[in-house]
Amino acid sequence: MRYRSTRGDAARPRFCDILLEGLAPDGGLYVPEDYPQVDTATLARWRRIYHEQGYAELAFEILSLYIDDIPADDLRALLRRTYTAEVFGTGEIVPLRHLEDGLWLEALSNGPTLAFKDMAMQLLGQLFEYELARRGETLNILGATSGDTGSAAEYAMRGKRGIRVFMLSPHGRMSPFQQAQMYSLQDSNIHNIAIEGVFDDCQDIVKAVSADLDFKRRWRIGTVNSINWARLLAQVVYYFAGWIQATERDDERVSFAVPSGNFGNVCAGHVARMMGLPIAQLVVATNENDVLDEFFRTGVYRVRSSADTFETSSPSMDISKASNFERFVFDLLGRDAAQTRALFGEALARDGRFDLSAHPAFAHARERFGFVSGKSTHANRLATIADAWQRFGVMIDPHTADGVKVAREHQQPGVPMIVLETALPIKFAATIQEALGREPERPAKFAGIEALPKRVRVMPPEVERVKAYIETVCRAG
Ligand SMILES: *Cc1c(COP(=O)(O)O)cnc(C)c1O
């Protein structure tokens, strides 16, 4: 399998060439040259594999279609080490739970940090360690987080050979549980830096450090952001596993509802559908930051300013633009790289928006690609959490609640609707308290985590201070 940029760059790299990279050289995103097709017989075989041999073997079947530069035995071993009952809490890895008539929850958040980002990040840790060892290289991962991504990256990379993590977070602004999750890690390759500022200050520092190409090269600085193709690919697997659990026949269709921010999660659903998984609808659920809902309703994609980006009670969906969206639009435009570049490289840079409402392809978003959307507000979130608890005794987190709210608006008779559960309630205790007047359930392994000793360095929002710290750590070896 070769990969190509959505903006037409001539290079055709393979999987391991793009594993440690971010954007393509022309600013586009990497996509596979074509989507491997699966027929009903293959789906039937994969159904048996999942039931008899488990999630890791299913993942091997899917990922080996996209990765041909890692020997099969090595890839299989990596996947078996990643998707274990010890790490993800159950043998099914992503068990389905019935909520109400025709509506299911797929649990993606029983990994180490209790959010769906573990599903991909845990594999990324294994892949990075493997590929760096093969090349005899090391990598310093620099990132900024407002919560879920940073902790998922740290728990995936802790103790990995050849890798250090420098993670910037806004001092005192994450939930006490999230702070404890990150700062209690004692691994010597994990470095928490609490910046006296907001999340945007953290992100600005990461951008400034990455823009210093000299520094970046000398200290081998890399990232693990959501546009990484390997992360997206890892997520494709749980769409197949969800469909297998919700159906009995191999031609039966299901729909998925996905709490969305950067469009990484639901883009993996799009890839699964392009491969031939019988998905009726992909339901994009947003919160008050409704960039994506606006596009799927009107055809206008309009990036928000930071003043127009709201801080909400489903904070992991608080985005001003959807960084993976270009991958879908590329397919929507019939894989026309020149048109994709004109929209994302030129129109967005110039106007901060583009308008496909009059473009013939826009109608295809719903008709051919199955996309529909909706949005949810703080009041909707509280009501949905309270309703799920009172009627079914099921406690859901605010992001999953956004998914359930929008899923109900798009249910079709006879088509199971699977809502992806993207985090556990304990990560967002204040909102659960507001909705239910009680504390969320806490998994036993997190008892008393807030009292553990913390390993974090507090710094003012100054690029030079962060650079100096990275240098000191790297020189010390
Ligand atoms: C990251 C995240 C999302 C949004 O996922 P995208 O891939 O950015 O669309 C939703 N819910 C939770 C809990 C998350 O951590």
Interval 30-73: pLDDT, tens: 999 999 999 999 999 999 999 999 999 999 999 999 999 999 99
With contact defined as beta carbons under 8 Å apart, do 50 and 244 qualify?
Answer: yes
Judge: domain 96-113+229-436, CATH 3.40.50.1100: yes
Ligand 1: centre distance to CA 48 (Å): 30
Q: What are the residue ranges spanned by the domains of the chain? A: 96-113+229-436
Mutate to test the pocket of ligand 1, among 108, 109, 116 (most ligand atoms within 8 A of CB): 116
Ligand 1 pocket check: which of 231, 265, 428 to mutate, most ligand atoms within 8 Å of Cβ?
Answer: 265
- Is residue 292 over pLDDT 90? yes
Q: Give me the numbers of helices (H) and strands (E) for the chain, helices first please.
A: 21, 15
Mean of the pLDDT values across residues 435-457? 92
Q: Determine if ligand 1 sits within 6 Å of the CB of residue 263.
A: yes
- Which residues are part of the catalytic machinery? 117
What's the burial of 469, exposed, middle or buried (CB within 10 Å: 0-12/13-18/19+)? middle
Tallying the residues shown for the chain, one arrives at 477
pLDDT band at 203 (very low <50, low <70, confident <90, very high): confident
Share of the chain above pLDDT 90, in %: 88
Gap from CA of 263 to ligand 1 centroid (Å): 8
Residue 320 has pLDDT above 90, yes or no: no
Q: Is the CB of 115 under 6 A from ligand 1?
A: yes
pTM for this prediction? 0.96
- Pocket flag, ligand 1, residue 316 (CB < 6 Å): yes
The rounded distance, in Å, linking the Cα atoms of 289 and 311 is 9
Distance 259 CA to ligand 1 centre (A): 7
Task: Give me the pLDDT at residue 23, please.
Answer: 87
CA atoms of 8 and 369, how far apart (whole Å): 22
Ligand 1: distance of its center to the CA of 40 in Å?
31
pLDDT of residue 472: 96
Q: Which among 399, 406, 419 is the best mutation to test ligand 1's pocket, defined by most ligand atoms within 8 Å of the CB?
A: 399
Q: Tell me the per-residue pLDDT of 83-125, one tens digit each, with 9 for 90 and over.
A: 999 999 999 999 999 999 999 999 999 999 999 999 999 999 9
The yes-or-no verdict on residue 3 having pLDDT over 90 is: yes
> What tens digit of pLDDT does each residue of 334-386 get?
999 999 999 999 999 999 999 999 999 999 999 999 999 999 999 999 999 99
